[in-house]
Amino acid sequence: MSEKLQKVLARVGLGSRRYMEEVIAAGRVSINGRVAQVGERIEPGDELRIDGRKVAFQIEDEIRRRVIIYYKPEGEICSRSDPENRPTVFEQLPSIPGDRWVMVGRLDINSTGLLLFTNDGELANRLMHPSNEIEREYAVRVMGEVTPQLKKNMTEGVVLDDGPAKFESFSEIGGEGINRWYQVVVKEGRNREVRRIFESQGLKVSRLLRTRYGTVILPRELRTGRWIELDKGDIDNLTKSVELKPRQGTGLFGMAKRRNERMQEKPMAARRGGYLRQQRRDNEGEAQPSEQRRDSRPANTDNTRDSRPNSRPRTEGATEQRSAYPRQERSDSRGDDRGNRASTERNGNTLDNQNRGENKFAPRKPFGSNKGFKKF
């Protein structure tokens, strides 16, 4: 049993198959101590190294292809680690012994919604590559009036700093006043592309939620900050969209399948990240001079919130957050059965990775077995 070297390296997640061919041609890859050639085949038990560093690998038939959906909350960054110790999306994923999760695209720290992760690096690269034109669908709340002319501009194409861009589709889905929700679709994953298209027309995006990536739709039963693993049918549909062959052993089995079924019956409560909210409070406190804060205090000694001048009721901010569209992003600490009204075709979450310790901002161990092979 053997497999082409560049295919193995691409699946590990070190780059696309074409890029790995360039790495091999440059003489940077060795098999059992000798320099490898493009197109060479590798077998289980061979020692594989890149730039002298050992790379753990498995032959395709030995690996169960896995894909998970993660509902990213606001305040988490799409990175394996962060020098500022901000929370990352990888902290919340299940462990995958002997393998690693590869992220499919990314979302801004202020954006929420669907993120895909897979242990198949080649699948991830194909889903992200612009030539495959995989659709990404977003629910966007916009401040400002979107006139028919502005809508026409954004669907026919605008010029951004990195080239032309447009929405493949554009429709209004709700909201009142100047804050309205729209559903838009793009076929590229450029940095902040959706926000920049709106900004080119003088409009500001106040919230952005990804609801679909290719054939995968954000399940209504999935709560913020939780993840769900796809079964064989969903994974095969995803791989067919980028012309990859289905793989034996794909999907959920045994306890994992039963655990997902239980999650469908009773979805887990949302886990909202509070990092950004706390950071805003700290910044607001630093921006206001201490003398001004002292002067703004009431003359009496009544400690009730209503007696303070220029203060807002505690429920005002909460009301704004609860009324934000769409409904499935609401936090429900009771974990009731309202999420079960949605379709149950998809599989539920797991409970393996919920408690990671009280200090979630502490430095973490490197994720995966191939540490240090992010760039070449």
For residue 186, give the 3-state DSSP assignment: strand
The Cα 344–Cα 257 span in angstroms is 13
Q: What is the percent of the chain where pLDDT is above 70?
A: 65
Mean pLDDT of the chain: 76
Q: Which long-range contacts (CB under 8 A, 24 or more apart) does 16-24 make?
A: 16/122, 16/125, 16/129, 17/122, 17/125, 23/50, 23/376
The Cα 24–Cα 165 span in angstroms is 35
The Cα 121–Cα 131 span in angstroms is 17
- Catalytic residues, by residue number, are 108
Q: Best-predicted range by mean pLDDT among 194-198, 253-257, 310-314? A: 194-198
For residue 172, give the 3-state DSSP assignment: strand
Residue 250 lies in a domain: no
CB neighbourhood size of 367 (10 A): 17
Can you tell me which residue has the tokens 């070449």? 376
Task: For residue 48, list its beta bridge partners.
Answer: 31
What is residue 165's predicted lDDT score, i.e. its pLDDT? 95
- How many distinct helices (H) and strands (E) make up the chain? 10, 17
Q: Is the pLDDT of residue 34 over 60?
A: yes
Residue 38 lies in a domain: yes
For strands 204-213 and 216-217, give the pairing.
antiparallel
The Cα 323–Cα 271 span in angstroms is 18
Residue 285 lies in a domain: no
Residue 267 lies in a domain: no
For residue 374, give the 3-state DSSP assignment: coil
For residue 22, give both structure tokens: 């360039």
Question: What domain count does the chain have?
Answer: 1
Task: Tell me the per-residue pLDDT of 54-94, one tens digit each, with 9 for 90 and over.
Answer: 988 877 666 778 899 999 999 999 999 899 999 999 999 98
Residue 73 lies in a domain: no
Per-residue pLDDT, averaged over 118-123, amounts to 90
Task: For residue 172, list its beta bridge partners.
Answer: 182
Structural domain of 48: 3-62
Per-residue pLDDT, averaged over 259-272, amounts to 61
CATH number at residue 10: 3.10.290.10
For residue 35, give the 3-state DSSP assignment: strand
Residues 63/1, Cβ–Cβ less than 8 Å: no
Residue 57 lies in a domain: yes
What is residue 157's predicted lDDT score, i.e. its pLDDT? 94
Residue 357 lies in a domain: no
Residue 34 lies in a domain: yes
